[in-house]
Amino acid sequence: MHPRATLAATILGSSLAFIDGSVVNVALPALAQDLAIVPAELSWAINAYLLPVGALTLLGGALGDRFGRRRLFQMGLSVFTLASVACAAAPSPAWFLAARGLQGLGAALLMPNSLAILGGGFSGEARGRAIGTWAAAGALAGVVGPVIGGWLVDATGWRSIFLLNVPIGAGAGYLAFKYVEESNVDQPAAPLDAVGAALATGALFLLTWALTQASDTSASRALSGSAGAAGCVLLGVFLRQEARLKDRAIVPLAMFASPTFIGLTLLTSFLYASLGGLVVLLPFFLIKIRAWPAVAAGAALLPVPVLIGLGSRYMGRVAARHGERLPLAIGSTLVAVGLALYGVIGLQSVHYWTDIFPATLLVALGMGACVAPLTTAVMTSVDARHVGLASGFNSAVARVAGLLATAMLGFVFARQSNAAAFMVGFRSATLIGAGLAALAAISALLIDRGSVSAAQSPAAPS
């Protein structure tokens, strides 16, 4: 066992997924111009990655439990790194989007297994320190990723942000091969729920495609409506499949017997949909409409990951003492107010400290208040045998919410040729985001105010 090398391998591998989840946001205007991506389809540059990550992360974790976590981690690294090279070499939109989808597939394999490697390779306090270091590194990647990505876009072009993944992926792969021990491979009697994963992926693809096509005035309304209806049908078939498999399902519906878990799922959906739209739309507005350098646009949202990282430890203690309901409700309300403030930004002059920073600070404070209590609440809202699944499902819900929100941004991207029309779409999007965050605050009312305190009470049996 090589603890430091194991930790370094998992941090480097997961950092690839953390960075690529945000760095492309600052490259959207440049790659759209270079590859001639039409505005209505621009959101696919983000969603081609988010779709497999949101739909297949749970399956990626289950595959690691069955066939070996190091093996699936290495497989995910290989797929992600090769797909990054393909992104950098893309000569056309179709090539680029296919490569982004492969990146998402790689991330869905390496992300859950990087954390599972830490869980199996460390124990006791060492496990807590390792996971804390892993999470802190992820937060740091969220801070530096858009800034470094913006600098690379300005200095060398958008393709370089994908080539940067190659040495990082190679380093993580070497450390994993040389030093990470394979976990005990579990051979469960029940088959994997591959059908459920395929149904979820198909449903999300059709719904996302329908929302994207709806923003294109030249697209057939009948075709996009039919795709949306087919997506809803597949979603219904998926739920029926999960109900039939019960505890063998990739998403056991028994978790939803808890009103608290339902409230947390709704809160996660609304909150991360509002945030997902912001982190894509604001950099695009600053670069495309206001002609800011990409590095400056990447730095505009820095307070969000910084305050999430700084506030999580403190808010975790607050939630343990007083329950999660109040921090989640207050935090979501702050996000709603911050998003509403973006709606008053003018078109003629935009100054960071007076126009962008106050709204960003409120969003950052709100997310900093929510992240740790939300994570804790999810893990205590279901019975012990579903804790891992509930945590993974909640993470997938956050990504899917961002996926659908980004698909809706096609209505705004389609207006980019006219600055005034774009601002109308921008303000509408920020107000819709504020409304979603307000719904997240209302969803907090479904949370049992004593769920965490009861679970962590000294009198509770260990």
pTM higher than 0.95, yes or no? Answer: no
Concatenate the DSSP letters of all residues of 327-382 into one string.
HHHHHHHHHHHHHHHHTT--SS---IIIIIHHHHHHHHHHHHHHHHHHHHHHHHSS
Q: How confident is the model at residue 190 (pLDDT cuts 50, 70, 90)?
A: low
pLDDT score for 211: 86
Task: Please state which of the ranges 95-104, 278-287, 406-415 shows the lowest mean pLDDT.
Answer: 406-415
**Helix or strand or coil: residue 128?**
helix
Alpha carbons 31 and 171: distance in angstroms, whole number: 27
CA-based torsion, 219, 223, 227, 229: positive or negative: positive
pLDDT band (50, 70, 90) for residue 78: very high
The winner for highest mean pLDDT among 9-18, 59-68, 192-201, 361-370 is: 361-370
Q: Any idea which fold 254-451 has?
A: Growth Hormone; Chain: A; (1.20.1250)
Of 254-263, 314-323, 380-389, the poorest mean pLDDT is in 380-389
Percent helix, strand and coil across the chain, each to the nearest 5: 80, 0, 20
201-223 mean pLDDT = 83
Eight-class DSSP state of 456: T
For the chain, the structural domain boundaries read 1-183, 193-249, 254-451
| Average pLDDT along the chain | 86
Grade residue 34 by pLDDT with cuts at 50, 70 and 90: very high
Per-residue pLDDT band for 449 (boundaries 50, 70, 90) equals low
Percent of the chain clearing pLDDT 70 (strictly above)? 93
Q: What is the DSSP string of 68-85?
A: -HHHHHHHHHHHHHHHHH
193 pLDDT exceeds 50? yes
* Phi, psi for residue 350 in degrees, rounded to 5: -130, 115
What does the pLDDT look like over 251-305, one tens digit per residue?
A: 888 888 888 889 999 999 999 999 988 999 999 999 998 999 999 999 998 998 8
d(CA 141, CA 15): 6
Closest to 249 (Cα-Cα) out of 386, 106, 107, 378: 386
For residue 189, is pLDDT > 70? no
CA-CA distance, 344 to 346, in Å (whole number)?
Answer: 6
Assess contact for 425 and 412: CB atoms under 8 A: yes
pLDDT-derived band of residue 63, with 50, 70 and 90 as boundaries? Answer: confident
* Architecture (CATH level 2) of domain 1-183: Up-down Bundle (1.20)
DSSP-derived secondary structure for 133-179: HHHHHHHHHHHHHHHHHHHHHHHH-TTHHHHTHHHHHHHHHHHHHHH
Is 60 exceeded by the pLDDT of residue 457?
Answer: no
pLDDT tens for each residue of 213-225: 887 766 677 888 9
Report, as an integer, the average pLDDT of 414-435: 91
- Report which of residues 60 and 41 the model is more confident about: 60
Q: How far from 244 is each of 198, 250, 253, 380, CA to CA, in Å?
A: 16, 11, 10, 25
What is each CA distance from 34 to 21, 22, 63, 215, in whole angstroms? Answer: 21, 20, 38, 22
Other residues' Cβ atoms within 10 Å of the Cβ of residue 30: 18
Fold agreement between 1-183 and 254-451:
yes
What is the model's pLDDT at position 270?
Answer: 96
Asked if 396 contacts 54 with a C-beta cutoff of 8 angstroms, the reply is yes
